[in-house]
Each structure stands twice: as structure tokens, then as C-alpha cells.
Structure 1
Amino acid sequence: MAHESVLQQEAVDALVTTPAGRYVDATFGRGGHSRAILDQLDDSGRLLVLDRDPEAIRVARELAEADPRVSVQRGDFGSLAGLLNEAGWSWVDGVLFDLGVSSPQLDEPERGFSFRHDGPLDMRMDPDTGQSAADWLANEDEKEIARVLRDYGEERFAKRIARRIVEARQEQPVTRTTQLAELIREAVPFEDRYKHPATRSFQAIRIRVNEELPQLDEALRQAVDHLGPGGRLVVISFHSLEDRRVKRFMRDLSRGPQLPRGVPVTAEMEETGFRTVGRAVQASEAERSVNVRARSAVMRVLERSSAGEA
């Protein structure tokens, strides 16, 4: 299945404020958003694309070979500041984050992201570094597995599932996606007719293996630090854990420090240098009908004041 970038035009319209600007697609994927950004840039505009997935980087380099406005850096977006420094960019006009896992990653059994395909239980977005999901499940204790399933997957049967995994690994290693999915099915007392019982657990384990939430927190801070005057941060989230973090980050930055009641406030104290742009945007009914990933997508936009300092 080809990857369809969710909220593609909405994101690019919010991001690109000047055709001659410098922009970062911090989650290149298969390049849908990047190509749409390039369509709105003139010959002097520049686009830096980032990803930690080796296949995404291969596609990105092909795009860079065909378009001199594109440069490529491999790495996770939690290292955004360092990657910008390597590219020689001290400020940018906009940064885009399209969070979560892409359709090609889900559709490649050897990547181990999906319970719908049998494959090695890997789940790493960068398969060249870090601990695989199988290794994590083999070495983590039951209490921590349950915490991850509860906190990152919002799984109500986290304790039951963790107990079943630990019991099973005493008999044989849990190394395959369908093997884990069946263990989860066995542990869950009843199933949601609209959702596979392994959905939340696979999400939770993927988030833990890739350290997605700490990476996101760091990436948001680094992105706004590098926004030039009038620059924008655009974030597309696909589940509530991500969106709550993004919403809180943008809200807190745009309203500034909350002072105790009765403390005199000057105009300078109220000026934070940032503002949220519009309301949260969701995919249209038409997009949701053709792209299942779009159903949970939420886009939020933050802008640095044109009078602010880069």
C-alpha cells in the first residue's frame, strides 16, 4: 500500500508562509508532505528533510538528487538541533512533524510493526540502533511491561497481558508479531468488536521501543528555539498521548508564565513571542473515507511573533 500523507494540503498551507523560506520536514516518511512543500517554494526556497528510517532516507536522497533545493539528514527528530547545526541552519521558517508510524512501515512484515502480518518482533523505526521489541519483552519485568501498556497504550487489561507475556516467555521467547498478538488475545477477557485486542499493546510497545514521547518533547523545544520571526511549527498527531503533549506545549508557550492572582502584569510580561494559529484541524470526511489513518489525525499550529528573535 502506498503511503498517503494525512492532512497534506492543510499542513503545507499552514507551514509555508514565504516561497523563498527555509523549511524542515522532520518526519519525511515517503515524502508526500515534502513534495507538496516543494510545490510551494520558489527557486531560492530550501527544504531539509529528516528521518531515522533507512528506507525513508533512501527515498529522500533520490528526491534530493532530482531537486537541488532539498538536503537530507538521517536521525531522529529529538536530535533536531544537532541535525540543523550539521546542515548549517541556525534558524528556519517552519518545521513539520507528522508523528507515528507510516503505512509502508506497517505493511512490511520484516519491520514488525503490525499484528496483521507475521514477522520478527522488531518495531524499531531505525533498525540499526537500539533494542528491538522482542529484546525488550524478553528482559523487562512484568510490572514495567504493564505500566507501559497502561500508560502508552491506555490498555485496560495491561496487567493481564503483561502476566501472560511473562508466563509465555518462560516456555519460549516471544519473537514474532503474530505470536505476541495471540498471547494478547488469550489474556483479554473480551474483545472490542471494532478493534483488534492487540492494537493498544502494539502501539504502547512501539512507543516505548522508539522512545517516541521523550523524543517528541525534546523535538518540540528544539523546533521553537530555531524558528525565525513569523516561523511556524506544524504538528500532526494520531493518538491522544501525542496530541495532549502538543496541545499543552503550544498552550503554555503562547500564554506564557501563569502569575499568582493580584500580581501586576505589564504588556511586556504578557507578550510571549508565540501564538497558536486557529483551532485544531481534523481531516475532512472525504479524506477519512479513503484513508483510515486520517480518522484520528489532529493538526495544531504554533507561530513565533514576527517581532520575535530567532
Structure 2
Amino acid sequence: MMAGRGDLEADPAGEPARHLPVMLREVVAHLGPKDAGTYVDGTFGAGGYTRALLAAADCRVIAIDRDPTAIAGSAALVLAHPGRLVVVEDEFGNLDAVAAAQGAAAVDGVVLDIGVSSMQIDEGARGFSFRRDGPLDMRMSGSGVSAADLVAQLSETELANLIFRFGEERHSRAIARAIVKARASVPIERTLQLAEIVAGVVWAKPHEPHPATRTFQALRIAVNDELGQLARALGAAERVLKPGGRLVVVTFHSLEDRIVKSFLNARARPAAGSRHLPELRQAPPSFRLVAKGAVEPSAEETAANPRARSAKLRAAERLDAPARDLADLAGLLPPLPDPDARR
């Protein structure tokens, strides 16, 4: 978990931010680690939250990351905490299965830091950055469809829908039109190449985010199924947490935060049920909200780490009610344009 799991790419001076854990004190305070407890860090990154948990209590941490680079970088920390830390290469949407495979059918806490890490942004070769030239990749795991594939294959309408829904970009139609026009002449395969195309149709005032910020965000979310992963992880946390266990989630943009807020608010009250599913009518709450609304970083933290300024923390405590059906998780997600449904 690092400073850069948002969409800013540099501090006001234009220099890369250091890899600082965002809202570290608030995360530890809301998670409340205790001796002999077992905790899941679903987004290991550079290990900021994991280190804090191991230092705060004589506990065990099961850390997860789908980025092979993060897994390789965890070796020294694992060796420094024999028997207390395991780091697993997997998707955080599978966190309950990962925990079970490590002998933890139920855990005392789950922490999630959603989005891209500053390590990924700062390495141009990963293709996340609109300020550093590199292949237009954006794949956290290194496998699957890349951002260049989406840019090359989606229709103009599909691109516009994707950029609007996942980037909340009001200029999505103009951007999609410019991309389709540019790719007719030459393949769009580099990050700066795409950033220049977007900057040609979206104007930004000095000190405003780069014009390509929202477009890159949208492509990254689509490539890595970030919102789907988040919804699955919330359901997995509900299944794996013990009564009294804590769920703490840090998000960096409104799409993520809305999903977490909607999930926790729904789980913190009795299920409404329906005439089609009358058995849900009496389903009790499965979570109790710990934080009243979203907790935001302090002014001191945002001054020291500009990448933290968009962060929001939400926390809840697991109650003893059974986990609910997963069918409602799909309703948390904005619709994704279907690449096979050509218009």
C-alpha cells in the first residue's frame, strides 16, 4: 500500500511522490490489531499496511497482491517475520479463498487499499503513466488484455462509454473520436502517444490535473477489472470475517468510494427483501459502521503527500449474522461496455 494508489502522478513540483502509506494511523486505529489475531492485507503493494500491523500486535498477516513485482519485493519482509507473514500472488477478490488456503477459515480483519500503486505509476515500462513514456500496457498482473488492445479494438462508441463510465470524463466522445481518427493512421501503442491525443482535445488550466488523467484511469480500471475485483472482495470479506472483525477500505476516487459506501450501508441495515425473495425480509445486518461517513486524510498528511488528498477511508465491524447472497453485488457496478457488442 503506497502513496500512489490515486490518480495523481507527481507532487506540485512535478517530482514523483515517495512510497508513503496513506492514512496509516487511521487504518491501524480502525482495524484495531490484537495479539494472536489474523489479518488480511488484500493489496500488499510495498507492504506499508502489513508492516504497521506486524508492528502493532503479535499477529499474523496474510498479504495478497497480483503484481509479480510486489511479490518479489516482499521476500525480505517475509524473512524478517517468520511464521507471522505470508504473501500470496492472487487477486484480492479471492481473499477468502486465499485465507482458507493458508489455514484461516475466519480472520480478525481485512484491509484494502484500492487502485494503482505509486511504484506502478513511477515505472514507465508498466504503462500506467501519462507523464512517462512506455508501452500502453496497464496490466497489474502482466497478463490478459492490455490498454493498447482496448484502444485498438473498441469502437468509437465503446471507447466513449468506457471513458465516461470509468473515468467520469465529460469529454469522452471527443476523446474517443480523436483516438479512432489517430489509430487509422498509426497504431496507438505508447503512453505519451495517447496522452498527446487526449491533450489535443481536452484543455486544462495550469495546476489542474493532466487532461489525460481520467482517460488513463478509465482504461486502467477496465484492463484490471478493478471495480469488479472490489465488489468481489467486499463479499469475500463479509464471508471470511469473524464476528467483531473489522473491514477497512481506502479508496481514491468516487467510483470506488460509491461501491464501498453502498455495500456497507446496505449491510448495516436489515435486508429489504421482496415478494420474489421473501426469505431475505428478516435478514439482519451483517456489519456495523465504525466510521461515521468517510474519514479523510489530515491537512498535514496531504501537505506531505499530495497523492493522499483524494483518499477516503470507510470502516465497519462484522456482526454475527450470516453473509448475504452475492446476487446484489452486481448492482454496485456501473455497466461495462461489451467489446463484442459492436454498434
TM-score (norm 1): 0.92
Structure 1: which 5+ runs fail to align? 261-267
Task: Tell me, yes or no, if the aligned pair for 2:40 and 2:95 is still in contact at 8 Å.
Answer: no
Q: For 2:40 and 2:239, locate their aligned partners in 1 and report how far apart those are by CA, in whole Å.
A: 13
**Aligned-partner residue type, residue 34 of structure 1:** T
2:264 corresponds to which of 250, 254, 261 = 250
Task: Tell me, yes or no, if the aligned pair for 1:229 and 1:309 is still in contact at 8 Å.
Answer: no
**Aligned-partner residue type, residue 287 of structure 2:** F
| Aligned twin of 1:200 | 214
Q: For 1:249 and 1:34, locate their aligned partners in 2 and report how far apart those are by CA, in whole Å.
A: 25
Post-superposition CA distance 1:266-285 (Å, at most 9, x none):
xx948423211022210000
When structure 1 is superposed on structure 2, of 52-61 and 233-242 the one drifting more is 52-61
**Aligned-partner residue type, residue 200 of structure 1:** R
Pairing 1:40–2:72 present: no
| Aligned twin of 2:288 | 275
- Count residues in correspondence: 298
Q: For 2:262 and 2:33, locate their aligned partners in 1 and report how far apart those are by CA, in whole Å.
A: 24
1:215 corresponds to which of 220, 223, 229 = 229
Secondary structure at the aligned position of 1:167 is classed as helix
1:295 corresponds to which of 303, 309, 318 = 309
**Aligned-partner residue type, residue 167 of structure 1:** K
**Aligned-partner residue type, residue 219 of structure 1:** A
Pairing 1:131–2:142 present: no
Q: For 2:230 and 2:283, locate their aligned partners in 1 and report how far apart those are by CA, in whole Å.
A: 27
Pairing 1:16–2:29 present: no
- Give the helix-richer structure, 1 or 2: 1
Q: For 2:31 and 2:220, locate their aligned partners in 1 and report how far apart those are by CA, in whole Å.
A: 28
Q: For 1:209 and 1:170, locate their aligned partners in 2 and report how far apart those are by CA, in whole Å.
A: 22
Q: For 1:90 and 1:35, locate their aligned partners in 2 and report how far apart those are by CA, in whole Å.
A: 23
Secondary structure at the aligned position of 1:299 is classed as strand
**Aligned-partner residue type, residue 304 of structure 2:** V
Post-superposition CA distance 1:176-229 (Å, at most 9, x none):
1100000001122x3243121101101111001101001111110011110002
**Aligned-partner residue type, residue 110 of structure 1:** A
Q: For 1:70 and 1:245, locate their aligned partners in 2 and report how far apart those are by CA, in whole Å.
A: 29
Q: Which runs of 4+ in 1 moved over 6 A?
A: none
1:155 corresponds to which of 162, 165, 169 = 169
Pairing 1:28–2:41 present: no
| Aligned twin of 2:332 | none
Q: For 1:214 and 1:173, locate their aligned partners in 2 and report how far apart those are by CA, in whole Å.
A: 29
Task: Tell me, yes or no, if the aligned pair for 1:119 and 1:177 is still in contact at 8 Å.
Answer: yes
**Aligned-partner residue type, residue 168 of structure 2:** E
| Aligned twin of 2:201 | 187
Post-superposition CA distance 1:133-162 (Å, at most 9, x none):
111211111111111100010101101101
Q: For 1:134 and 1:142, locate their aligned partners in 2 and report how far apart those are by CA, in whole Å.
A: 14
The percent of aligned pairs where both chains have the same amino acid is 48
